[in-house]
Amino acid sequence: MTADHLAWVVPCFDEAARIDGPAFLTLVDEGELASLVFVDDGSRDETLAVLRGIARERPGQVEVIPLPKNQGKAEAVRQGLLRALARGAGIVGYVDADLATPPHELHRLAALARGGDIDILMGSRVQLLGRTIERSHSRHYLGRVFATCASLSLGLPVYDTQCGAKLFRRTEALSSALDRPFTSRWVFDVELLARLIRPGPGIAAIAVERIREEPLLSWTDVPGSKLRPAAALRSGLDLLRLGLRLRRR
């Protein structure tokens, strides 16, 4: 693989009814420059069979990693990113199985990640004129509160930490950030950013000027979210604990 090879990781849990195989395969139309790593997080339905069917369509470009039991989105993403890096990808990222961020936007993000001096590229759901961001009012306002707290915890002017479309260039900081499980199932995006901008001793941090948020042209809130009220509450508590740890450091 080359430095421009981009691997998308897709965490999946009970997604058999929502996975759009043909749409995902458009992400690997670039041939040797792109690949897909699906991680089945111990699904109870036919997700694994569906994923293996997609993989048979593009052998060598699509890989399926079956986890023996459900471990949560955070660990599924981590395992997928580790696998993509181990296979030699120069740029790795993850995207939600429901393709709330559509393929044409993922292609646009991929081009930006390859073409700029960027180590972290994050899709951002900003409702602006000329853009189509379809999101319920309740989730929008809850998201704004969460994003504000995340920004304060990280000490970064970040607008949207939870959009499920992110890309990372291969760096020592990224490898270090992925060497141990995340402490939270739901706010791992924030935890990953924290590990990248404040890595361990002897590891170069990702400079703020090499992090970019890109407002999406389109994004759709697809029904079937796994985030329940109790999980949302735990996410808030996890974010508070993460902020306290960062302040102590």
DSSP 63-77: EEEEESS---HHHHH
Query: Would you state the pLDDT for residue 68?
Result: 93
Residue 231 identity (one-letter amino acid): A
Model pTM? 0.91
In angstroms, the Cα distances linking 26 to 13, 21, 140 are 22, 9, 29
β-strand pairing of 218-220 with 132-134: parallel
User: Which tokens go with 188?
Assistant: 């791992």
- In Å, what is the CA distance from 75 to each residue of 5, 64, 138, 244? 23, 15, 28, 22
Three-state DSSP class for residue 4: coil
Residue 173 CA to its chain's centroid (Å): 17
Confidence of residue 243 (pLDDT cuts 50, 70, 90): low
List, for residues 74-125, the tens digit of each pLDDT value: 999 999 999 999 999 999 999 999 999 999 999 999 999 998 789 999 999 9
- Structure tokens belonging to residue 247: 């302040």
Coil, helix or strand at residue 193 = helix
Predicted confidence (pLDDT) per residue in 206-236, tens digit: 999 999 999 999 999 887 665 555 555 566 6
pLDDT at 141: 80
Q: What is the dihedral of CA 183, 189, 193, 198, to 10 degrees?
A: -10
pLDDT at 174 over 70: yes
